[in-house]
Amino acid sequence: MKFVQMIEMRTSRYDDLVTLANEWDKATEGVNTVTRELVTSDRDRPNTYVMIVEFDSYEDAQKNNELPATNEISAKMAELCDEPPVFRNLDLIERRH
């Protein structure tokens, strides 16, 4: 079953988050298990962003979380946030369109 993790972040340092994400992409190229990633900006709440990350399975997401680079970037990203990020772990039960 596909698995989706949503990460909601509030930050005034979005550009720094992008830099970290790019570093993570390079550090985990060929070993991360992400199949799709969307980065969104909340129109109704300034400086609020939601990352939607898709994996083939929950187990693949856990493998991704165990990568040293993932642990490092998570800590650095949290430091850039104005408040603690909110994580939602979702099983994808249906995709339409």
Residues 84 and 61: their CA atoms lie apart, in Å, by 21
pTM of the model: 0.90
97 domain residue, yes or no: no
Write out the residue range of the structural domain in which residue 16 sits.
3-91
pLDDT tens digits, the chain, 97 residues: what are they?
Answer: 999 999 999 999 999 999 999 999 999 999 999 999 999 999 999 999 999 999 999 999 999 999 999 999 999 999 999 999 999 999 999 989 8
What's the total number of domains in the chain?
A: 1
Both tokens of 2, joined, read: 């596909």
| Bridge partners (DSSP) listed for residue 55 | 3, 34
C-alpha separations of 30 from 4, 10, 24, 33 in Å: 20, 29, 12, 8
Altogether, the residues listed in the chain come to a count of: 97
CATH of the domain at 85: 3.30.70.100
